[in-house]
Amino acid sequence: MTTRRVGRWFGGCGVCLAVLLMTSPNRAADPQTNVKWSTQRTAPPEDVPELKALEGRVKSVVEKDTPCTVAILIGVGAGSGVIVNEDGLVLTAAHVIAGEPKPGVGYEAGKTCTIILSDGKRVKGKTLGINDRADSGMVQITDKGPNNGKWPYAQIAKSGEVKTGQWVVSLGHPGGPKSGRAPVARLGQIEPPEKNRIHRGFVVSNCTLVGGDSGGPLFDLDGKVIGIHSRIGLSLATNVHVPSDKFKDEWDKLVAGEVIGRAPKSSGAVVGVVFPEDENEDAWIVEVDDEGPAAKAGLKPGDTITRFGGEQIKTVKRFREVMKDKKPGDVVKMTVRRGVEILSPSITLGKKASS
């Protein structure tokens, strides 16, 4: 990404900061002041030199990590990812690579996929393991890297050390990869503890995400990966990322192609989906049974159910409470959020198959 492009992007993100500067006449605005921006800082810039220091830090992250940020094409779906070692190992979201499982088999590692590099070049890859509850996944680039067979890669930080309010940079491919467009950068901050309690175990930021960003990296201002984009929360200002520490905890299993975290289907009337294990999370869909009612209604992994049968759904727990009164064969109207799109499908509830 050129300096000119970074400058245009950052100028848009800095509108509110510019207003702040205009209202701070007592601060010296000497452009020659040598101001450095601490990567651990949580406060906003207070004057022009600080704004420029933050802009410089963000520009450095974008230039450093754009070559490591990729798009992933698998089947008819597309998402994002980030290369994290010189051998071409890519971190992404489970729902980006899970696709449609084979009947009676479920997810299998080793599916071929296409990796689009930041310069538009396409290379080959294969899927590795997933944790469909945490929404974490891995892909291995199978082609040789451009640097004596090695790939440019981003370092991984400890997500557990990230502070509320810390400034972060999101990279990804909103709307899917587009010819001639490098990964798109957005600036934001880590959300306060109450948002993290709602999405327990995840990193939450206000870096805006849309469809196609899933699986892309969230960086601290040292340019290290602290999370992988999972989904939009209850608003566009609440965006949920798989912590880098979660990948590290299950690294060997994911590299080996294992499937982690799968749970049995519910009893009684069923919709044919798997939700996050934490019942206080919003009702976003981790997995869709390809022969179940949800698949027939057009639902996909990553969708979030916000209304079900006229009832507002804010958590997995509330969805399950509403389902207690439903019977197989009931036709239920839903409201579903898919990225920034709002859908209103109807679903015919199924019956759990006898074992």
pTM: 0.71
Q: What share of the chain is helix, strand, coil (3-state, %, to 5)?
A: 20, 30, 45
Q: What does the radius of gyration of the chain's CA atoms come to, in whole angstroms?
A: 21
**Lookup: tokens for 65:** 């990590």
- Quote the CA–CA distance of 97 and 109 in Å, as a whole number: 9
- Residue 89 confidence (pLDDT) above 70: yes
Q: Between helices 48-65 and 3-13, what is the axis angle to 10°?
A: 130
Mean pLDDT score across all residues of the chain:
84
**Can you say how many angstroms the Cα of residue 191 is from the centroid of all Cα atoms in its chain?**
15
Taking only the tens place, the pLDDT of each residue in 102-120 is 544 567 899 999 999 999 9
Q: Are 109 and 129 in contact (CB under 8 A)?
A: yes
Summary count for the chain: helices (H), strands (E) = 9, 22
- Report the DSSP pairing between strands 239-243 and 350-351: unpaired
Residue whose C-alpha is closest to residue 276's, from 247, 229, 316, 249: 316
- Report the DSSP pairing between strands 259-260 and 122-131: parallel
Taking only the tens place, the pLDDT of each residue in 235-260 is 777 899 999 999 999 999 999 999 98
pLDDT band at 26 (very low <50, low <70, confident <90, very high): very low
- Quote the CA–CA distance of 203 and 222 in Å, as a whole number: 17
The pair phi, psi for residue 129, each rounded to 5°, is -85, 165
pLDDT band at 289 (very low <50, low <70, confident <90, very high): confident
- Quote the CA–CA distance of 241 and 220 in Å, as a whole number: 13
- Residue 296 confidence (pLDDT) above 80: yes
Answer positive or negative: Cα dihedral of 60, 64, 67, 73.
negative
Residue whose C-alpha is closest to residue 217's, from 168, 171, 176, 161: 171
**Domains in the chain, please, with CATH?**
3-66 (no CATH), 70-262 (2.40.10.120), 269-351 (2.30.42.10)
Q: Are 62 and 1 in contact (CB under 8 A)?
A: yes
Encoded amino acid at 316, one letter: V
